[in-house]
Amino acid sequence: MEQDTLEYAQLLDKQDDLAAYRQEFYLQENTLYMDGNSLGLLSKRAERTLFDLLNSWKTLGIEGWTEGDNPWFYLSESVGGKMAPLVGGMKAEVIATGSTTTNLHQLVATFYKPAGVRTKILADKLNFPSDIYALKSQLAMKGYDSDEHLVQVTSPDGRFLCEDDIIAAMTDDIALIVLPAVLYRSGQVLDMDRLTRAANERGIPIGFDLCHSIGAVEHALHDWGVDFAFWCTYKHLNGGPGSVGGLFVHEKHFGTVPGLAGWFGSKKESQFDMDHTMDSAMDVSAYQIGTPHVLSLAPLIGALELFGEAGLANIRKKSLQLTQYFLELIKSELADYQFTIGNPTDATRGGHILLEHVEAARICKALKEDGVIPDFRVPNGVRLAPIALYNSFEDVWHTVQKLRIIMDEKRYEKFENKRGVVA
């Protein structure tokens, strides 16, 4: 059986141990959804737990804080505990709170302690802009010029980072390191274990942005000795638009006073004493700032059930199989259309494919018109993410066929080669 046939894709789907989970999600009719690395689809369980939380408000009123199946007062901790296996952390090290950028601000405010010659923050040139904005903001609040005190490792090719270059930049003037676990454009997975060991040897706190890795890539943050991490939950975790973020703080830092103090960072048993001297929680709970966003946490309860059942190792295995199949079809079907593969072709890739083309913005628009949902990343990237829990090998096959027809017939030419407001 030829590997580039529909029958072969269907055979792979019959052999897929995770195929049943596709029925757990609301799939859009006549649509091939390849954008789960930007916004995951709604699952039926996430819908159920959202309505369950709404019902607890309806039936319990204020008593919902301490009563019901998921008491709101402890919701950030309980949802964090469900995320802990996905990052390789202990339950006491992971909490669901805030958003990606507010959590980064909290963690930098806590771990960035410039002293002596150690005043600089080490980051990279390929990171998502929001992280860089936050780092520059934190430097400014400490009175430092980011042009001098934010060190950004460059990429030799504009796609990938070299761990040797990052380690070489861990000089005596670096006070903090913040890096992505998976690069948002190319999907490169950094060697977090190696980078953490290098930082620890030099006594530099290190943290990682897991937005494009959690739910797609296995982690061992506790065992690696990572100081902190932060992430969103609306991509691979399918928590819904604007769903609550998460953060990890290694237990070796428990008792460290949070840089940004807030009432919900107090010990639960003393929080309502209303004392003006904060009695901080002695675990990751201390790094909460405000009241849990209960209704935004609710879908995560159901969404995370699926990860507990399917197992992250199985999800990662299928993800690599899906993207490998994608790469093989691209090579056989799209060789004549001037595409460049911009992601790693080995197991150091995350959960998405990056196709580079000079007409990328137009191609994305043509794909959408033909029922394929990709996303565009400047300057020339088409990102395609087959998600293990709800995409099939047949989805991948049809996506490549549609892309081949679009290129063969030049259907993209009727569109302007310019991104939309939301790319």
List active site positions: 128, 209, 234-235, 383
Question: Annotated binding residue at 234?
Answer: yes
| Phi, psi dihedrals of residue 29, rounded to the nearest 5° | -65, 135
Distance CA 400, CA 11 (A): 17
Question: Annotated binding residue at 291?
Answer: yes
Half-sphere exposure of 220 (CA within 13 A, CB side): 8
Tell me the helices (H) and strands (E) count for the chain, helix number first.
13, 13
Question: Annotated binding residue at 272?
Answer: no
The H or E element that residue 353 is part of is: strand 353-356
Burial 159-183 (b: 16+ CB within 10 A, else e): bbbeeeebbebbeeebbbbbbbbbb
Burial 7-33 (b: 16+ CB within 10 A, else e): ebbeebbeebebeebbebbebeeeebb
Question: Annotated binding residue at 137?
Answer: no
Question: Annotated binding residue at 212?
Answer: yes
Q: The tokens 């790693």 sit on which residue?
A: 344
Question: Annotated binding residue at 130?
Answer: yes
Distance CA 244, CA 393 (A): 31
Question: Annotated binding residue at 209?
Answer: yes
Alpha helix stretches (DSSP H) within 69-203? 75-87, 100-111, 129-141, 146-149, 163-168, 192-201
Collapsed DSSP state (helix, strand, coil) of residue 253: helix
Alpha carbon 44 to its chain centroid, in Å, reads 21
Q: Is the peptide bond before 156 cis (omega within 30 degrees of 0)?
A: no
Residue set of the binding site: 100-101, 128-131, 209, 212, 234, 263, 291
Residue set of the binding site for pyridoxal 5'-phosphate: 100-101, 128-131, 209, 212, 234, 263, 291
